Amino acid sequence: MAASPAIDLDMHRSAAHTIRALAMDAVQRANSGHPGMPMGMADLAAVLWRRHLVVDPDDPRWPDRDRFVLSNGHGSMLLYAVLHLCGFPLTMEDLKNFRQWGSHTAGHPEYEPDLGIETTTGPLGQGFGTAVGMAVAEAHLGSVFGEGLVDHRTWAFVSDGDLMEGVSSEAASLAGHLGLGKLNYVYDDNRISIDGPTDITFSENAAARFEAVGWHTVEIDGHDPFAIDAAMEEARAETGRPSLIIARTNIGRGAPSKQDTPAAHGAPLGAEEIAGWRRSAGWPDEDFYVPDGVREYFGEGMDRGRRARAAWTERFEAAAESAPEVADLWSAYHDPAPVRLEGPGFETGAGVATRNAMGAVFDEIGRKVPGLIGGGADLVESTKTHLSAGGMFSRGDRSGRNLCFGVREHAMGAVVNGIALHGGLRPYGSTFFVFSDYMRPAVRLSALMDIPAIWVFTHESVFLGEDGPTHQPIEHLAAMRAMPNMAVFRPADAGEMIEVWETVLNQSHPAIILGTRQGVPVLERTGREGGAARGGYVLREGSEAVLVATGSEVSTALDAAGLLSDSYSIRVVSMPCVELFMEQPEEYRREVLGEGLPTATLEAASTYGWAGFAGADGLTIGIDRFGASAPAGRIAEELGFTPPAVAERLAAWLDAS
């Protein structure tokens, strides 16, 4: 690492006080926020940015920068204050507009890499797991391109709340197992939570807990800059274990009556308390005051990153000139070309589970997308998401592309997000659809950040059968479709599955891909190729009514329409992705759904959300109850999802209208 400027004790105190003052003032002005954490962690932040973090405010997206995650995101003003003081494009006006409409300084950090905000942190624990994913990405890309091009660290600030959340336990266990030595966390051990001292709920030995799962730990006074610096140096020297610096701090440091109390946590301190802090600190009675020399003090730390970035650029250009294949490989990872999937070919009419169709094309995806990396929550044999030639990412082999997450769905979601945020890789995570409940915060954050995470969920309906209602998703499709900015794909057959993967890989947004456990017929789609890429398309022409279906119910819809062909001309529409279909031009949507035709929908899940297609006089066929333990065929019979049963309901509806 480039040389770091020394700690000047007087300037350090001024820098830390500036962070505290800016946090107090911004929260007070907004009349909303959390001043206590920034005041308590100000010394830690000042040392980290001055002495250790390698970033360049002139080029915030520089690929080989250190990553910083504020997992205790309620203390967002600490991050905003430091970014502003370090010269990132976050202005004083941004600080003054903390928590206001349209500002860059939201109540919790929201992903804006051009400003130095590396991730959106909302629910506690998500940032903890996300940073693990960033460290995984660094380790893997380092094995591909070498330490000359990829060699950086991931730092995170975490809180009592992060450690209480279950996702942190999963992520810490995984990080320790993998020996992610470039992962360094600073734990704000202030012993205060919203409801009172943490000892009312949290009495475990954090050091022993993390040491037990393979971490290096060190305990320090979080207000002693020299102890902080030494601990961070010690953490950086650890090459085979992640590190947890347990920093004993005072929440609301320096507040006359609110230090070390819950009152400093989540509410403005009040004018009187701020005035008292200013008097005790010898601080001018001026809002948003920044003393002379503080920006320069932080700027000297940023010069370390500027030098490192310039040296990296020289190395990259030299490598590209001496070995052009290096530049080509870098581009293949960081700016991939469009993907065209061929697939193995499937016989029309054959019964092929769409998860098996995905498995049949997965190695082709891996060959054509070298940055594809991911795995499953101990279910890859079921989700069919294994890269045969990918190897296993492990402590001893960072080149592997198959990530073994173990039974850790919470952590898997956060780690996948961290890999996507890092850049240079296309990550996926897979499990049964019903277990997406454990992953929802991470899936939602991927949509909120609009990052290219791929969520693969198989066993996606009651037709998984004998495992019963605990494993049979009912409301999950409606819940995921209700999530803004998330495309949910439920392919009808093997051909649609290949088109769906091609569609997802050729865009940079989050997506959910669902696969069946049971076999479904391979459909005759000659002349209909590419329809899945538009979200919905006509599979069978008809002039009197429209039946919209998804997934395994598409073949049922076709058969039902065929049974009624002597009485009614029913158009069958396959709609693998409602969101994508609704983005199509209105002319196309009308062409597919017809003008004024009565519409029915068919999906083996909750009917919630389908009324918008069926309309007031339409028919929605679904399942508004939990499933049952039985073979898939018996479930279809009992719940009315056989072609004759569907045809009967359609006929009764059409006869009545």
Per-residue pLDDT at 426:
98
Residues 516 and 651 in one domain: no
Scanning the structure block, which residue is given the tokens 């250790």? 52
Residues 508 and 547 in one domain: no
Query: The domain that contains 558 carries what CATH number?
Result: 3.40.50.920
How, if at all, do strands 372-376 and 454-458 pair? unpaired
Contact criterion met (CB below 8 Å) for 231 and 171: no
pLDDT band at 523 (very low <50, low <70, confident <90, very high): very high
What are the tens digits of pLDDT across the range 182-199? 999 999 999 999 999 999
409 a catalytic residue: yes
Whether residue 344 is contained in a domain is answered as: no
Residues 164 and 290 in one domain: yes
Per-residue pLDDT at 122:
81
CA angle 173, 177, 179 (to 5 degrees): 115
- Average pLDDT value for the chain: 97
Which of these three, 489, 521, 553, is where a domain ends?
A: 521
Residues 542 and 493 in one domain: no
Provide the residue range defining the domain that includes 451.
351-521
Which of these three, 492, 521, 550, is where a domain ends?
A: 521
Per-residue pLDDT at 595:
87
Contact criterion met (CB below 8 Å) for 193 and 160: yes
Given a cut of 80, whether residue 453 has pLDDT beyond it is: yes
Whether residue 261 is contained in a domain is answered as: yes
Strands (E), 176-238: 183-189, 192-193, 196-197, 216-221
Whether residue 340 is contained in a domain is answered as: no
Tell me the CA distances in angstroms from 92 to 16, 163, 289, one per residue in order: 17, 33, 10
Residues 242 and 263 in one domain: yes
Residues 162 and 274 in one domain: yes
Mean pLDDT of 413-433: 98
State both tokens at 115: 């400003």
Residues 323-354: b if buried by 16+ CB within 10 A, e if exposed: eeebeeebebbeebeebebebeebeeeeebbb
**Ramachandran sector of residue 57 (left: φ over 0; alpha: ψ -120 to 50; beta: rest):** alpha
Scanning the structure block, which residue is given the tokens 């494993």? 471
Whether residue 156 is contained in a domain is answered as: yes
Residues 485 and 596 in one domain: no
Nearest-10 crossing angle of helices 354-368, 494-505: 40
Residues 63-91: b if buried by 16+ CB within 10 A, e if exposed: bbbbbbbbbbbbbbbbbbbbbbbbbbebe
What dihedral do alpha carbons 391, 395, 396, 400 form, nearest 10°? 20
Residues 394 and 455 in one domain: yes
Residues 32 and 178 in one domain: yes
What are the tens digits of pLDDT across the range 474-497? 999 999 999 999 999 999 999 999
Within 10 angstroms of residue 132's Cβ, the number of other Cβ atoms is: 30
pLDDT band at 403 (very low <50, low <70, confident <90, very high): very high
Residues 516 and 544 in one domain: no
Tell me the CA distances in angstroms from 153 to 33, 52, 62, 641, one per residue in order: 30, 10, 13, 53
Whether residue 334 is contained in a domain is answered as: no
Residue 634: enclosing H or E segment and its boundaries? helix 632-639
Whether residue 313 is contained in a domain is answered as: no
Residues 550 and 402 in one domain: no
Per-residue pLDDT at 471:
98
Residues 586 and 463 in one domain: no
Whether residue 321 is contained in a domain is answered as: no
Given a cut of 80, whether residue 3 has pLDDT beyond it is: no
Given a cut of 80, whether residue 238 has pLDDT beyond it is: yes
Contact criterion met (CB below 8 Å) for 604 and 461: yes
pTM of the model: 0.98
What are the tens digits of pLDDT across the range 314-363? 999 999 999 999 999 999 999 999 999 999 999 999 999 999 999 999 99
Scanning the structure block, which residue is given the tokens 């076999």? 519
Q: What domain count does the chain have?
A: 3
Nearest alpha carbon to residue 550 among 483, 597, 620: 620
Q: What is the C-alpha separation between 72 and 108, in angstroms, rounded?
A: 9
pLDDT band at 2 (very low <50, low <70, confident <90, very high): low
Q: What is the DSSP track for 338-366?
A: P---------TT-EE-HHHHHHHHHHHHH
Largest CA distance in the chain: 90
Residue ranges of alpha helices (H) inside 250-323 are 271-281, 294-322
What are the tens digits of pLDDT across the range 341-352? 999 999 999 999
Contact criterion met (CB below 8 Å) for 15 and 291: no
Which of these three, 273, 308, 343, is where a domain ends?
A: 308
Burial class (CB in 10 A: 0-12, 13-18, 19+), 355: buried
Whether residue 343 is contained in a domain is answered as: no
Nearest alpha carbon to residue 68 among 156, 162, 150: 156
Residue 156: enclosing H or E segment and its boundaries? strand 154-159
Bridge partners of 458, per DSSP, are 432, 515
Mean pLDDT of 141-160: 98
Q: Number of helices (H) and strands (E) in the chain: give both, helices first.
A: 24, 20
Of these residues, 112, 170, 409, 460, which one is catalytic?
Answer: 409
What are the tens digits of pLDDT across the range 46-93? 999 999 999 999 999 999 999 999 999 999 999 999 999 999 999 999
Strands (E), 353-449: 372-376, 402-404, 426-432
Per-residue pLDDT at 597:
95
Within 10 angstroms of residue 200's Cβ, the number of other Cβ atoms is: 9
Nearest alpha carbon to residue 556 among 646, 489, 629, 455: 646
Query: The domain that contains 373 carries what CATH number?
Result: 3.40.50.970
Tell me the CA distances in angstroms from 349 to 352, 521, 548, one per residue in order: 9, 5, 21
Given a cut of 70, whether residue 1 has pLDDT beyond it is: no
